[in-house]
Each structure stands twice: as C-alpha cells, then as structure tokens.
Amino acid sequence: MQKKFKNVNIIGFGKVGSAYAYALQDCGYHIKYIISERFKNINSLSRHFPGCVFNKKISFLSLINSDIIIISVQDDKIIEIVKIISQYNKNLTGKIFFHTSGALSSDILSKLGIHRNYIGSMHPIQTFRELSVKNNDLLKDIYYGIEGDETSIKFFKILCKNLSSKYIELKKEDKLLYHISCVISSNYLITHLFLLEEVFVQISNADIMKVFMPLVNNTLVNIVRFGIPKSLTGPISRNDINTIKKHIALLKKNNPEILKYYSFMSGKTVEIALKQGSINNNQAKEIKKLLKKYSK
C-alpha cells in the first residue's frame, strides 16, 4: 500500500460505498470520513470504524484531511458532489479523487472544476444487493474496470493488489461499452431466468432455481473449462430444425412476446454453433431464414 495515500473519505455510504469502507479498512487504509445523507445507526458504525468522523454533508475539513476521496453515489448525483468539491479546488492538490460509476468516465471530475493529475474511476465488476455491515469479501477476487490519469492508474493497480483482485484498464471512451457488458452479464441474466419462469410456470409450480440450477451451474462450469462455443448443446447445435419449428409454433400460440426473444437468442446461438463447427453455413442460413420473420 502506498504510504502517501492512507486516509480515506467515502462520499456515499450505500451498497457500494459501504463495501469499499469495510474492505479498505481490512487492507490497512484508515476510513477517516464517511459522508452520507442517510445514516441508520451511527453508534454501530462508530464501533466498526474507530476514529472515523460521520457527516451528512461534505466539509472542507473532511476533504483537506483525506488522501483518498471516493465518490460512491448514484450517477446523476456525482455532478452535485463535484460542484461542491470544486469550491475548494485550489486547496486540494495531490489527493486521489475517484468515483465508482461503471458508466461514467473520470471526465466528469475534471470538466466541473477538479483540475489535477489525480483523478479516475474504479468500478468493481460485482453485484451489490444490500448495504454491507461487515467485510463480506465482495471486493475480493474480482476484476475492476479502471481508468484515469497516470497517477490514479498506478494507485488503482496497487489498490487492486491489496484487495486480492485484478483489473481491466479502460479508455475513457469505452466506459459505456464496458458498462453494457456488466449489465448483460448480471442484470440480463436475471431477466433471462425471469423469462424462463414465465414459460415454466405454465407446466409446473416447482421452484425454477431448484429445477434448473444443476443445468445452469454445469453450463457455467463447461464454459470455464472448454470456452463458450465448445459448451453449446441443444437443437441448434445439432441442426434439429424440426424441433425449432415446433418451439416457434407453440410460442406463437401461447407466448408471442417471448417468441421475439427466442428468435433473437436463437439467431445468436446459430453464430455460436458455426464457431463450434456443429453446423455448416447452409444449415445456419436455413435456421436464420426461419427465425427472421419472428425476430422483429
């Protein structure tokens, strides 16, 4: 850990901010200030973070006495935070400023008056369902998307090492694509299972996760072991076009809104099957021709 950057100020003690607080403290950083408009139990937090000052608003004192300022609030509130901090711009050189947004780059910090060589963004590729009340290792053994100036990147790399994690160094212009990737990997996985439930509930009231978890888990294990194309099974990978036609007919009758999803996903699955080598170009064209009319 860099000795220069030790005292931490966390602005926003929500799901992500609270996880950072506990994780950084266990890494040897000193959580000196926690700024949040909503504190449920300061007495309890005081026991967890000895010597920490809890404030509802940002003060000059909380900034000047901190080496690392982490802005961990909702994206649309970052501008408000930066405007407040920028009032003290001339007095805050040499401090690390970074936000935890997955979609925004560090430009939001520089464009609004924080002009220094110590700004960046560090977004954990992780899901945070609730406020942390202890170090639950959510920030350990994961990847972070990092970007910023040279000094902040060096700091992020050291911080990732201290957190026993790895990183992907991003360009500012790639942050949105990066965030879309995160959304697909987590949020849309939930949506996918939600659609599965909509179909399966028509035949059974059994818990879908208990029924399908072995299939889902083994699919993920296969992907890790063999890669995406080689893990594909099912009707498209074996060119079972008759089964695909039956799927389409039933969905058209009972679940027309899911048919568009099925068609789109099947089209992408054809591309995977081609890479797998389980179907040829002519077979792929035939399946895609069948799907095309239902994917719009």
Three-state SS annotation for 205-226: CCCHHHHHHHHHHHHHHHHHHH
pLDDT in tens, 153-182: 999 999 999 999 999 999 999 999 999 999
Nearest to 8 by CA among 34, 47, 44: 34
Show the CA angle centred on residue 159, arms to residues 158 and 162, nearest 5°.
90
- Position 115 scores a pLDDT of 57
Q: What's the CA gap between 147 and 165, in Å, rounded?
A: 16
- Position 192 scores a pLDDT of 95
Beta bridge partners of 11: 35, 71
Q: Could you give phi then psi for residue 227, rounded to 5 degrees?
A: 95, 170
pTM check: above 0.85? yes
> CA 125: distance to chain centroid?
4
- Position 3 scores a pLDDT of 46
pLDDT in tens, 195-214: 999 999 999 999 999 999 99
- Position 1 scores a pLDDT of 44
Q: Max Cα separation, the chain?
A: 71
pLDDT reading at 2 higher than 70: no
> CA 179: distance to chain centroid?
7
Q: Which domains does the chain have, with CATH numbers?
A: 7-174 (3.40.50.720), 206-292 (no CATH)
- Position 62 scores a pLDDT of 95
| Chain mean pLDDT for the chain | 93
Residue 80, number of CB atoms within 10 A of its CB: 11
* Token duo for residue 262: 């099925």
pLDDT in tens, 104-159: 999 999 866 665 668 999 999 999 999 999 999 999 999 999 999 999 999 999 99
Residue 156, number of CB atoms within 10 A of its CB: 22
CB-side exposure of 4: number of CA atoms within 13 Å?
9
